[in-house]
Amino acid sequence: MFGKSPKSRKAIDRPFERGVLERAAKIAASYQIIIQFEDGEYYGRGLELPNVMNDGKTPDECVEKTRDILTTAVAYLLETGQTPPSPASENKRTEQINIRLTPDEKIRLEEAARNKGFRGVSDFVRIASLSVVEK
């Protein structure tokens, strides 16, 4: 989506309105950055915007440059009327999966959810699945 390629930079290589850029910087400051070290260089990407990335010779330089490109990406989203993703630290559930079940499986899951005190199957399946993954 956003990066260092000349083609993508050309599309957004212009100033943003001050208010948009300030709002974008505030949003991007709350985003988490994932850094990897490879081939003598640090590579960073946004957790909330995984296609937004940059690099640096030191971890600090990588974070600074990645934060800058995240600000640019968020400014672009704001300018085009799109809603930037919520910071991962807010734990907002915005992603959805679809699971196909037999009628019998659905009944068994609903019953298990009720027996465990859950109001619905979604929370039961989410908690049960994540507890297996986190082991």
User: Are 61 and 42 within 8 A, CB to CB?
Assistant: yes
Q: Indicate if the pLDDT at residue 133 is higher than 80.
A: yes
User: Are 52 and 73 within 8 A, CB to CB?
Assistant: yes
Q: What is the mean pLDDT of residues 12-32?
A: 89
- Residue 49's pLDDT is what? 93
Instruction: Give residue-wise pLDDT tens across range 57-99.
Output: 999 999 999 999 999 999 999 999 999 998 988 888 878 889 9
- Residue 13's pLDDT is what? 62
Q: Indicate if the pLDDT at residue 31 is higher than 50.
A: yes
Q: What is the mean pLDDT of residues 15-26?
A: 93
Tell me the residue type at 131. S
| % pLDDT > 90, the chain | 64
Q: What is the mean pLDDT of residues 43-63?
A: 95
- Which H or E element spans position 132? helix 121-133
pTM over 0.85: no
Q: What is the mean pLDDT of residues 29-35?
A: 95
